[in-house]
Chains A and B, each alone.
Chain A
Amino acid sequence: MLTVARAWEVLHQVPDPEVPVISVVDLGIVREVTVAADGAVEVTITPTYSGCPAMFEIEKDVREALLAAGAAQVAVRTVLSPAWTTDWIGPEAREKLRAYGIAPPGRAEPSGLIALARARPPVPCPWCGSTATELRSEFGSTACKAIHVCTSCRQPFDEFKAI
């Protein structure tokens, strides 16, 4: 029978389908794991964005990984609240993102409007570390990323948006 600690370890090895360099646990989308007396595992996950198309994939990967690790039964529950925030991504995972070429998110803005003007500090280039970078679009290859370009090393790069 799987223990709660072992279940977390297993989930720590399940990569995020869109950003495979970090796990679904690193990303902060696994919120809770419980193991019932009969060995049934229940995992609570939360989507990054309302329309995240990877949720079905993540649910499937989570279930398969736990079954392969010996769970008798796995239920995956999706909750919206509390709303996911990039602040749940830990320092180690941020470094993995940067090494992969994705600028890690800054601190999420607590509330209210985000400034229209370019008052935000430039995002450091994950390749060369230069801060001579420009935002190209708030929306990148996935809903959770923005596109920037570095004017020092001339490389485009993704930024994990703070949300």
Chain B
Amino acid sequence: MAAHEEELGIAAGEAAAGRRPVAGPSRTPVLGAPLVEYLLRLGDDRLILGHRLSEWCGHGPILEEDIALSNMALDLIGQAAALLRLAGEAEGQGRDEDALAYWREAVQFRNALITELPNGDFGVTIVRQFLVSAHSLLLWEALLGAPHEGLAGVAAKAVKEVRYHVRHSGEWVVRLGDGTPESQARVQRALDDLWRYTGELFDADAVDAAVAALGIVVDHAALKARWDGLVDEVLARATLVRPADGPMRRGGRVGRHTEHLGHLLSVMQSVTRAHPGATW
């Protein structure tokens, strides 16, 4: 705690005055054990993106897409439940997947920023889904042999599901990009807007290094190269222009989120918090 406080320059004054920080969710990023952090990152990416996709339920542009987006949401939330359960077990504080999903504050979430951005129009949702699914597919392939039974088990299931997500969203990127001038302009704009959030997916920090020491090794450079290849192939077929890599937005992995996450959580967590412990 002290190290973090010093970093933020708030410790000296408060300590001198004999005051302790107010209890409650800390605004300072306090990272837990690396394996717990790692599993939270994986779980939160899927929980938050799954929730975003679920917002389309009943609002899809056509019935088939309403069903498709809801089904992908279901896959992601199912994967999130399994990952958050593992995170809770690794943490050993008695928190299960529901406690982690519904009783953490925004600063305690570890999802990448791209997953929490609002859905925008169907084109934005599809472009985001393709960019993130392509990353997920390659990541799960890399984790198939992880020396962690639970994680490898999730990877083996998720890799099958995400293959369908990549194909479905990729086909839509091609259809919209190589579509009408209006659809092309919209998905190109979506791609340009979302690009600055893609860098965070490939960041590797001390948490990744620590879990690599446990044998959970992901070669981020190789993963990025394969992702580039997959994305370039689809963008070329979609007649879309790949944006240049400019400055990237990041922060989700240490709990520094956009304003959008709080609004999402206020909806996602509302029933549980209004009726704690309710069952039906």
Contact = CB atoms under 8 A, between A and B. Distances in A.
Q: Are A and B a genuine interacting pair, yes or no?
A: yes
A116 interface: yes
Interface in B217-275: 230, 234, 237
A154 B161 CA distance: 29
B154 A51 contact: no
B255 to A, nearest CB: 26
Interface string B68-110: 1011111111110110000000000000000000000000000
Given A50-B75, A139-B68, A139-B72, A80 B154 contact: yes
B27 interface: no
B153 A83 contact: yes
Contacts of A83: 153, 156-157, 160
Contacts, number: 95
A51 B166 contact: no
A44 B160 CA distance: 21
Interface string A42-65: 000001011111000000000000
Interface string B159-192: 1110110111011001000000000000000000
Given A53-B74, A116-B174, A137 B64 contact: yes
Contacts of B82: 50, 80
A68 interface: no
B78 A51 contact: yes
Nearest to B174: A116
B57 interface: no
Nearest to A146: B164
B76 A51 contact: yes
A38 to B, nearest CB: 29
A159 B82 CA distance: 27
B6 interface: no
A49 B79 CA distance: 9
B67 A114 contact: no
Interface of A: 47, 49-53, 79-85, 108-109, 111, 113-116, 136-143, 147, 161, 163
Interface of B: 64-65, 67-68, 70-79, 81-82, 137, 141, 149-150, 152-154, 156-161, 163-164, 166-168, 170-171, 174, 230, 234, 237
